[in-house]
Structure 1
Amino acid sequence: MGPLTGKTALVTGAGRGIGRAIALRLARDGARVGVHYGSSAEAAERTVGTIRDGGGQAFALQARLGIPGDAETVWTAFDEHADGVDILVNNAGVLGGRVPFAEVDEASYDEVFAVNTKAAFFLAQHGLSRLRDGGRIINVSTRFTHGARLPELTAYAMSKAAVDSLTATLAKELGPRAITVNAVGPGATDTDMNTARLATEEGRAAIAALSPLNRVAQPDDIADVVAFLASEDARWVTGQWIDASGGSML
């Protein structure tokens, strides 16, 4: 039996990248995992299939984030498969492109905040009646909220800074129910979001050099931190932003 046996998790944006790695890791630890996706049904089904092939339990659910009623749609789909949740991982997010500050338009700004911030807020809010006491909320943030500033990612960093604030506030709100709330801040990770930057030997070397460990982060590196926060071992950790960037800001 794994440390999360008997638990049910919902991971948003779990078809690919970091979300997929989180879903796979939580399933290996024994959790039954709701694999949320926005548009890539095939990727989500591959994640579910991999979990089931490994002896785990998982189900897929679809809902587009960043539109009115998205949180309610997610939970309605979730309710068809489970009667409660123990672990909510707000992972789904959009970068909004690397755009100079002067060229950011309102449409892209609004999308970044709708997906990264508003959806996480209301997924947590609508999830409260489903989240069991002693549960976990884990928000995927970014290193760009803590000292690493890139003007071309201003809107993205702002949206995640709001999530960091939500994390600390919810930790106080939900503490009486023994529910912990934490955020994880990755740096550049080997996912499709960074394909172009990692496509050349020079680009990969430059990203690796950001960390004293001198390598590019893999999705599993982030998933393992999330798994710790989801476990009973992290019962005394709440309201925290955990640097998962390989020490890139040292």
Structure 2
Amino acid sequence: MTDLTGKVAVVTGSSRGIGRAIAIRLGARGAQVVVNYAHGAQGAAETVAAIIAAGSDAVAVQADVSDPGQIEALFDAARSRFGGIDIVVANAGIDETGGPIVDVTEADYDRMFGVNAKGAFFTLQHAARTVNRGGSIVLIGSGSTSRPVAGFGLYASSKLVGNYLVGVLAQEIGEREVTVNTILASATDGAGYFSAGADNDELRTLVQNASPLGRMGSVDDVSDAVEFFIGPLSRWVSGAQLLVSGGQN
């Protein structure tokens, strides 16, 4: 178990799904957590409450990552509340396929890339500027970027941007002993398309049947990978892309 006592973490998009699970995990390990949200104030409050119940401290900060000014304000609020930042998990994103490329509009493109590409870029930039020496930066990417899939052209291409940036940042800030890594999460129960209450039984069955392990990934599976990347066992791992898919390529 990783001891994060005395550490400060910022987790974007942590009012629900994967981001919430990561924020709660970090809090349970002792970190003080900045819970970021764009629209889900109630969900963010629930995440904060769960972290406090686990024995740590947390605060919710609203910021839309498609706006670099709001990202800057998020990091300023984190430092104002807790001091230096040790861990940044860039999780916020739009989890929609986007459909066939021939049907994508400019508005669709701007919306998807505004969060998944631009948001990732400036979140990683601010993380690189502010994270303490010896800290960790983790980007939550998508397993859809590992191979072309019809209907995922818009979504997967928007997520590819962050993958490249992680490799570059690992080289640019490595001298500060900061590790920068990507988790390529596959279809995850309780997140995105598979959030609670979503009408997706047929798709859920297809995903489960395609898995060598016979199940979908869970938000805890992704949190496990984050805990590895921010812990002492991965201090020599940076610039990596870890496919968290249960063996499904």
Assess same fold via TM > 0.5. yes
Structure 1: distance between partners of 2:247 and 2:218: 14
Alignment of 1:72-91 (within 5 A): 72-91=72-91
- Is the CA contact 1:4–1:26 (under 8 Å) kept in the aligned structure 2? yes
Structure 2: distance between partners of 1:183 and 1:248: 17
Structure 1 residues 111 and 130, CA gap change in structure 2 (3 angstroms): same
Partner amino acid, structure 2, of 1:125: Q
Structure 2: distance between partners of 1:212 and 1:2: 29
Structure 1: distance between partners of 2:69 and 2:101: 30
Structure 2: distance between partners of 1:213 and 1:198: 23
Partner amino acid, structure 2, of 1:124: L
Deviates further, 34-43 or 129-138: 129-138
Structure 2: distance between partners of 1:225 and 1:192: 16
1:192 positional shift: 4.7
Structure 1: distance between partners of 2:183 and 2:37: 20
Give ranges in structure 1 of 5+ residues lacking alignment. Answer: none
Give ranges in structure 2 of 5+ residues lacking alignment. Answer: none
1:32 aligns with 2:23: no
1:172 aligns with 2:171: yes
1:117 positional shift: 1.6
Structure 2: distance between partners of 1:68 and 1:180: 23
Q: TM-score, normalised by structure 1?
A: 0.93
C-alpha RMSD of the superposition: 1.9
1:216 aligns with 2:216: yes
1:160 matched residue in structure 2: 159
2:141 matched residue in structure 1: 141
1:119 aligns with 2:119: yes
Partner amino acid, structure 1, of 2:189: D
Partner amino acid, structure 2, of 1:154: G
SS of equivalent residue, structure 1 residue 134: strand
Q: What's the CA shift string for 1:34-82, capped at 9, x where partnerless? A: 1000011100000000111121221111112213523212223323312
Deviates further, 91-100 or 222-231: 91-100
2:7 matched residue in structure 1: 7
1:204 matched residue in structure 2: 204
SS of equivalent residue, structure 1 residue 209: helix
1:131 matched residue in structure 2: 131
1:17 positional shift: 0.2
Report sequence identity in percent. Answer: 40
Structure 1: distance between partners of 2:204 and 2:126: 40
Structure 2: distance between partners of 1:68 and 1:162: 16
Q: What's the CA shift string for 1:111-160, capped at 9, x where partnerless? A: 2111112122212222334210001010011111112x223221211111
Q: What's the CA shift string for 1:74-118, capped at 9, x where partnerless? A: 223323312211110000000344421111111111121111121
SS of equivalent residue, structure 2 residue 163: helix
Structure 1 residues 79 and 239, CA gap change in structure 2 (3 angstroms): same
- Is the CA contact 1:96–1:108 (under 8 Å) kept in the aligned structure 2? no
Partner amino acid, structure 2, of 1:188: A
1:92 matched residue in structure 2: 92
Structure 1 residues 2 and 87, CA gap change in structure 2 (3 angstroms): same
1:200 positional shift: 5.4
1:203 positional shift: 3.0
Q: TM-score, normalised by structure 2?
A: 0.93
1:210 positional shift: 2.3
